[in-house]
A and B are shown apart, each in its own frame.
Chain A
Amino acid sequence: MSVATAATGLLPKRGRAAAIPTADRGRVRTAFLLLLPSLVGVALFLVIPVIMVIFLSLTRWNLLTPLKWVGLSNYVNIFRFDGMGNSLLVTAYYVLLNIPIQTVVALGLALLLRSKRPGSGVVRTIAVLPFLATPVAMAVVWNWFFSPTTGIINQFLAHLGITGPAWLSNAATAMPVVAFANIWQYAGYNMLFFLAGLQAIPPSMYEAASLDGASKWQQFRQVTLPLLRPTMLFVLVTGVIGSFQVFDTVYVMTAGGPGNATEVVNLNIYNTAFAGFRIGEASAMSVVLFLVILAVTVVQFRYFNKRTTYEIA
């Protein structure tokens, strides 16, 4: 979903009169009624919670004893005492492992599987299938796959004479495995976006490029990649926003371990709020995460806006 696309529908039209004719007042009421449920939903379950979380982040509260006002001290304490710094680093590490590899894989799959050769369609479908999989259920399957002795990965490595590590209890391999789980699940889905994007590039562009003597690789770099930037932006932005909030897989596969090597921010918030019942600190963590995601998204948009080519003809 491109926000730019959404925006084009909203440019103010000139000459809109202020007064509403009587015949349309009924229409306005109908429109309001049509909007009412989603409006209530947005107000009650999105807008109000956002306001609440900012307010809660300035308090100390455990839901059972009276609320206490503590100002901004939570924002300091979550870094000093609740491991927020570590969580941010761990999450950033996860995002850096996950998104670049996943994007490259998705693009690679798209380039390979757009072929018209028989069998490509089937494999395309197979690649997309995982994206519907219940992350919790898949995490259990991965626990089995990467189990030190009974898992197929280590059994396969044993055939090659290598003793595989305890994937999920080893600080060096735990996060990469979690990233792998996410890549496996969503690479095929993102491939679909790249396929659509590739399809939108007219063959005439490639013709022109090869007439100029460009090699396949140069065509890829000068034609394909630039024209894929909108798709790339979409895949990257949605991927990054989603990855910063990873929870299910980590909860089931590592529970933040070993130690806190995989304690991503969302898990830290969950533990702080629902195991420790520290609502104030958890709210502060949520706000910080929100700001980080916002900042990263803005940076991505800026970066791509400077370099996006929209003209095709």
Chain B
Amino acid sequence: MATATSEAPAARTASAAAKPAPRLGASVRVTVFYLLLLIIAIIFMAPYVLSIFAAFKPLSAILSQSPLRPPSPPTLANFRAIFTQYGFWRYLGNTLMVTVILTAGQVTFSLMGAYAFARMEFPGRNALFWVYLATLMVPNVVTMVPLYVLFSHSGLLNTYWAIFLPYVLGTPYAVFLMRQYLMTIPKEVMEAARLDGCSESYILRRIIVPISRPIIITATLLAFVFGWNNFLWPLIVTNSNQFQVLTVGISNFESNFTVQWNLVLAGSLVALVPMVILFAIFQKHIVNSISLTGINR
């Protein structure tokens, strides 16, 4: 439908604009376009590529060679060092464990709450949802200090609990996100199931969850990425090496080994590479999820 109508004006503006030789103008445009594409690709890929190069070189090579030169031969020594000597196994393990717990809890409990808001009737539903929305406006930094005080008095500082607890019971954003999606599921689906005598729990598990796969994946991704990348909260809430997550570990490591780029960049890659892999797997999903947030009417 769109092709016929859109080509007509394009052809008219093209002929109107290109006076001298239309062919030359077009190929110049194409060249410029691909040049821009190349520059953009380089800008966004260079940090990753060059860090990967550097992480596989010894420090002497980093300091003497151009960063653009690939490692020859590549060495695993840096990774071996950070994992065996500098505790990155522990950081990685901590981060994985805490993030998985955080994600599982957040998605599950947010979905439950979203379903209640979206498709169940109960008194005070709208008012309560407004409260959830209002808390979205509260910047993270506001709750940081009082949460620390709360955890300090509960004796929970410097434990694994402290790292994921504020996020594991569900967050307003996840609830909102999933509620918007669930609102698009026709009411009749649930009404029919209820009339058939199904319990809400059955409806939720057997009907809603399968239909909501896209938004559940989105919410899972968001929660996982958030947990993986979280820095400030784990920083203030843990102070033993035992409980440190990757972000805090990388930051401490960098301040101790500042100019040993080979080690420091290897450390960063331990955090960055899993995210790249995650992105590669779920990339289509991420792009599509933008429309799921419903910002365009």
A binding-site residues for B, Cβ under 8 Å: 1-3, 5-6, 9-10, 12, 20, 24, 27-28, 30-32, 34-35, 37-42, 44-50, 52-53, 56, 63, 109, 112-113, 115, 117, 119-120, 122-123, 125-130, 132-138, 140-145, 147, 150, 152, 155, 184, 188, 192-193, 195-197, 200, 203-204, 206-207, 210-211, 215-216, 230-231, 234, 241, 244-245, 247-248, 251-252, 265-266, 269-270, 273-274, 279, 282-283, 286-287, 289-290, 293-294, 297, 310
The answer to whether B138 touches A46 (Cβ under 8 A) is: yes
Tell me, yes or no, whether B210 is within 8 Å of chain A by CB: no
B9 near A210: Cβ-Cβ < 8 Å: yes
Q: Judging by beta carbons under 8 Å apart, are A203 and B6 in contact?
A: yes
Which one of B71-79, B81-89, B128-136, B212-220 is at the A interface? Answer: B128-136
The chain B residue with its CB closest to the CB of A244 is: B139
A248 to B233, CA, bound (A): 11
Does B98 count as interface, using CB distance less than 8 angstroms? no
* Contact present for B43 and A196 (CB under 8 Å): no
Q: Which residues of A contact B231 (CB under 8 A)?
A: 135-136, 247-248, 251
Chain B interface size, under 10 / 10 to 19 / 20 to 34 / 35 or more: 35 or more
Complex A-B, nearest 6 residue pairs according to Cβ-Cβ distance, in ascending order: A41-B169, A38-B170, A52-B146, A37-B109, A38-B113, A137-B268
A38 touches B62 (CB 8 A): no
A28-B123, A112-B33, A251-B251 known; A50+B44 contact, CB < 8 A: no
- Is A42 in contact with B132, judged by CB distance below 8 angstroms? yes
Contacts of B228 in A (CB 8 A): 134
Taking a contact as CB atoms under 8 Å apart, the answer to whether B232 and A231 are in contact is no
> What is the bound-complex CA distance between A41 and B102, given in angstroms?
12
Q: Quote the shortest CB–CB distance from B108 to chain A (angstroms).
A: 8
B142 and A287 within 8 A (CB): yes
Q: Pick the most buried of A28, A244, A297, A310: most chain B CB atoms within 10 A of its CB.
A: A28
CB within 8 Å for A290 and B294 given contacts A123-B41, A269-B145: no
Residues of A with C-beta under 8 A to B267: 137, 140
Which of B37, B54, B126, B286 interacts with A12 by CB under 8 Å? B126
How far apart are the CA atoms of A56 and B143 in the complex, in Å?
Answer: 11
Q: With A37-B109, A130-B44, A210-B9 given, is the CB distance from A45 to B145 under 8 Å?
A: no
